[in-house]
A and B are shown apart, each in its own frame.
Chain A
């Protein structure tokens, strides 16, 4: 329609003489014309010829211009086909009828070629503009559909990577409310192979896809490292290093990580840039864990600090984490969420089971309240629970993999500063998982290894008294002493050896840990079974539940634990 010749104009006029004049006038402007002599003909012509502009006489036999205009406007739908009424300006009443019928303009008799040219030109520009807008709108719609389709596929991949881990656990309640397909908030939770759980809440700068994309490496690192038995500090350092490398300047991730230790009823927490984490204890007090670090992805690895805060958290106590979006969450009265208000509410609350629901009640989640949201909202409640039920059943495993290392010995020794700086558990787990059948017992093996190694370092080499940990304040003293002594290590070593051997029914893993400490009275321990409820005596009974045998030798510097598993397959195979 760029050429004026291509513009088609429908002329509806019953008077043949007038029709001749206007047809000539329009044709002289270079437009194509189609003629109709009454309203009915005009409608038929419109359907057949699809004109761009319609000139319409008002009074005509059979069907007048008003009725024809109304019907054509219905047929036109969302297109724009201007209708210009041919009428005398002196007919006041009919002018109103023209407008009511959907007329866009008037041409009065006697016709004037300049006026006609100007009007048709003006409407031609509007028609072109309207079509351009429609084409662009359709193009935007098509692209948007394509984009949404792509996002849906990407979201599936994203959800598989940044999955919810163990967020379904009974001691976690959470609300994740993304403002678009992708969520700039990332909430991850994973059970530690050694028992307990680690929860990570991250809030990336911005929202939607650009914010969400950073969550993928975070989730990969988090789940991978937790499963391998790495501690929160190492995980944080790794995540920070990754985000520091990949995020553009000005983009970062406010985050909080909490290591929940069920057996010691302790938490280890790191908060970098998130709102205060609040803990309501069983005495009714509310403890606040404010941010004490810069968000992840800002500091280079050498400047980054993964130093965590340690604290008590008894069974039944609850801790609350929020992403910044929560301040946009309004209730139906338009009141914003306020951290101080929530802390007060926590303090006064007597029904802890209802706290979470109070914050995310129907008021706040109503569509109109959320319509004003301009950020992703995440709210999490985690309750401390008693120790996980430890799997003591050494379930029979399917021998599915023929290849793998089943008969080997490995020895590892670390000295002084390495004892302080290096966590050998991921390495040990990595090796033991080379036995295909042992993978099913990843958690058990991890727990045994960490107990043996912790005992070897803390009690064997550092000579710390586990009785210290019986009191809440004792914990801090214990950790202070531990750090102090770790820094003074000289000439000490911890030797770990692993031996895996297939047997008639499956296989056995023998773990020997030898420390250079001064040892202890073995006879006392080997005969004694401390009560399970005693916190600090937890280690040895746990080991004895999991292992076939746990024997301290010599002066107590050497311990040997045997973990045995059974195979479903015929024993002849091994």
Chain B
């Protein structure tokens, strides 16, 4: 199986390691990331630069851990933009990230059969 959103080797290793806990892990990842994204949108609206960077950095890290390189790279771009320029340059709707995350969610749900 190959997915646009996922490095197969990485997610397969996780599945192997987590065994029965894998579906629970996927659920946790999805809900935690959902939560992070909505928090980041709030932070963008109130221009809380520091909190936003922590959030995007955290999402980037967990994406790398599950092999979601596409989303991780999008996060990196946004993180760099926020760090080097300003939170004002960031798309307030985080459209790209939201779009990619929706696709990742679908793929992961299928994988974990949830």
Interface residues, chain A, with chain B CB atoms under 8 Å away: 14-18, 20-21, 24-25, 28, 57, 59-61, 64, 88, 90, 109-111, 113
- Check A24–B64 contact: CB distance below 8 A: no
Q: B43-71: which have CB < 8 Å to A?
A: 51, 53-54, 57-62, 64-67
- Check B17–A18 contact: CB distance below 8 A: no
Q: Tally B residues with Cβ within 8 Å of A.
A: 24
Contact with A along B13-44 (1 / 0, CB 8 A): 01001100100010011001100000000000
A17 in contact with B28 given A59-B54, A109-B65 (CB within 8 Å)? yes
- Check A59–B53 contact: CB distance below 8 A: yes
- Check B25–A17 contact: CB distance below 8 A: yes
CB distance from B25 to the nearest CB of A (A): 5
Name A16's closest neighbour in chain B (CB-CB): B32
Is B10 in the interface zone, CB < 8 Å from A?
A: yes
Q: How far is the CA of A20 from the CA of B30 in the complex (A)?
A: 13
Contacts of A21 in B (CB 8 A): 14, 17-18, 25, 65
- Check A15–B58 contact: CB distance below 8 A: yes
Contacts of B67 in A (CB 8 A): 110
Among B28, B59, B65, B66, residue most surrounded by chain A Cβ atoms (within 10 Å)? B65
Q: How far is the CA of A302 from the CA of B14 in the complex (A)?
A: 92
- Check B65–A110 contact: CB distance below 8 A: yes
Q: List 25 A-B contacts (CB under 8 A).
A: A14-B58, A15-B32, A16-B32, A17-B29, A17-B32, A17-B62, A18-B61, A18-B62, A18-B65, A20-B18, A20-B21, A21-B14, A24-B17, A24-B21, A57-B61, A59-B54, A59-B57, A60-B54, A88-B60, A88-B64, A90-B76, A109-B62, A110-B67, A111-B65, A113-B17
Name A93's closest neighbour in chain B (CB-CB): B83
A15 in contact with B62 given A21-B14, A24-B18, A110-B10 (CB within 8 Å)? yes
Contacts of B33 in A (CB 8 A): 17
Name A25's closest neighbour in chain B (CB-CB): B17
Among A16, A64, A88, residue most surrounded by chain B Cβ atoms (within 10 Å)? A16
Q: How far is the CA of A397 from the CA of B58 in the complex (A)?
A: 99
Q: How far is the CA of A16 from the CA of B59 in the complex (A)?
A: 10
Contacts of A15 in B (CB 8 A): 32, 58-59, 61-62
Contact with A along B82-99 (1 / 0, CB 8 A): 000000000000000000
Q: How far is the CA of A61 from the CA of B33 in the complex (A)?
A: 15
Q: How far is the CA of A18 from the CA of B29 in the complex (A)?
A: 8
Contacts of A16 in B (CB 8 A): 28, 32
Contacts of B60 in A (CB 8 A): 88
Contacts of B59 in A (CB 8 A): 15
Name A28's closest neighbour in chain B (CB-CB): B17
Additional A-B contacts beyond A18-B62, A20-B25 (4; CB < 8 A): A18-B58, A20-B21, A25-B17, A111-B65
CB distance from B87 to the nearest CB of A (A): 16
Give the top 10 A-B pairs by smallest Cβ distance, nearest first.
A17-B29, A109-B64, A16-B32, A15-B58, A17-B62, A110-B65, A15-B62, A59-B57, A18-B62, A59-B54
